[in-house]
Amino acid sequence: MQKPNLPYWKLFNLSFGFFGVQIAYALQSANISRIFRTLGADPHDLSYFWILPPLMGIIVQPIVGSLSDNTWTRFGRRIPYLFIGAAVAVAVMCLLPNSGSLGLSLSAVMVFGLIMLMLLDTSLNMAMQPFKMLVGDMVNEEQKAKAYSIQSFLCNAGSVVGFIFPFVFTWIGLKNVAPEGVVPDSVIWSFYCGAAILIICVIYTMLKVREWNPQEYRMYNPVEETKEESANWFTLLKNAPSTFWKVGLVQFFCWAAFLYMWTYVVDAVSETVWGTTDPASEAYQVAGNWTGVLYAIQAMGSVCWALVLPKFKSTKMAYAISLIIGGIGFALIPFCPDKYLQIIPFLCIGCGWAAMLAMPFTFVTNALQGYGHMGAYLGLFNGTICLPQIIAALCGGTILSLIGHHQSSMMIVSGVLLCLGALCVSFIKVGRHDQAVVES
């Protein structure tokens, strides 16, 4: 039986909690390097701290996907995992930015911070994955692109809020500098507010979304019923459609590029515009706040570009052009010595980000129709996001040394990687079984 068309607000409610999750992710991506640099981390070791988030993702998301495929409770199939993940994330968001205020030695602070980062990303991955699965479970193929577009909009809106929190809190009077090794109040209170919004959004989703019971689910997913009996991850990967792997190749270059941005962009902007990479200086903390504003501009540019994407006749062409524009944006960062000029490259990066959020899951979920194990497959597909980041993080310090120890040069590396991803889009074949549609 065909899944019913859902009214707009039901599609919106399926993804609304993503807004809160993305605020937390924005705070993490914009401030983790800043926090660890403030705590005393060496720039050449900085990328190693970024191994934990994707490592947790590649472990947690397939597990959550597989477990939730076989979970049926009075609260739903996916929502219990969403709530547990969000609850843990809220607790960790209140602890992580206080790592430098506990009176610990430098080594102990680093260990405590790493444990908190591991728990934060584990819990956020656990909270994020159910939203993608809810769309896969309950939205028909005709509306799926619209549902993921709503999810993309909420993702970017949450990002804007999370990114500008430190800038806004500094503007209203919270301290943006602190004793050496201590995180400023502007960052600490940003995490507190992000945690509060996250739990409110998740509670809203729990109250507004009613998942199908097992009988309703099987009625609307009859092919999956016969195929979801037993299969391990290796079997699923062996039987995955070709689109799964070809989109994964594009993902490899794209997520490596963005990992280097998240790792080095605060230092890159501070070095290019303010002429310093000293985390104890006021200029560095100002650069950290301004980088958050630039991230927010990237997110707003992403929202605007997401409205342009459906106008392309070819989804592959839209995907490739977006990534090339993003790659150019990365390469421009070291050549914009004024803080307002930095807006231009970040708008370009937003174009690449918009395509990365919307198109891969549209290609893959449409290709997976009839394969069963939707949650497990989406969890495994998350490996194409996590594995590239792990590899990039392991290589980051070496690449930084090879290119002359300037973090701003790592933005050029990111640009090259994103353009390589654009070239790989040509390998994706859209046919009868691997069909992708992007709608307005």
pLDDT in tens, 9-21: 888 888 888 899 9
User: Does 229 fall in a domain?
Assistant: no
Say what the pLDDT of residue 374 is. Answer: 63
153 DSSP β-pair partners? none
Say what the pLDDT of residue 3 is. Answer: 79
Say what the pLDDT of residue 360 is. Answer: 87
Residue 377 sits in a domain whose CATH number is 1.20.1250.20
User: Does 227 fall in a domain?
Assistant: no
Block means of pLDDT (10 residues each) for the chain, length 440 residues? Answer: 81 87 90 89 84 78 73 78 90 91 85 89 83 78 78 84 94 89 92 95 87 74 52 71 86 95 94 91 93 93 87 88 97 96 97 88 73 68 85 92 88 96 87 41
* CA dist., res. 194 & res. 94, Å (int): 9
Asked if residue 436 lies in contact with residue 363, where contact means CB atoms within 8 angstroms, the answer is: yes
User: Does 224 fall in a domain?
Assistant: no
Per the structure, the count of domains in the chain is 1
Say what the pLDDT of residue 196 is. Answer: 95
Q: Write the CA distances from 285 to 266, 387, 410, integer angstroms.
A: 9, 31, 20
Structure tokens at 436: 């992708």
Range of the domain at 364: 8-210+236-427
User: Does 419 fall in a domain?
Assistant: yes
Identify the CA nearest to 314 among candidates 189, 199, 428. 428
User: Per residue in 196-230, pLDDT tens?
Assistant: 999 999 899 888 888 777 777 777 766 544 444 55
User: Does 439 fall in a domain?
Assistant: no
User: Does 402 fall in a domain?
Assistant: yes
Residues 6+ apart with CB under 8 A from 41: 49, 110
User: Does 178 fall in a domain?
Assistant: yes
User: Does 201 fall in a domain?
Assistant: yes
Look-up of token digits 């893959």: 364
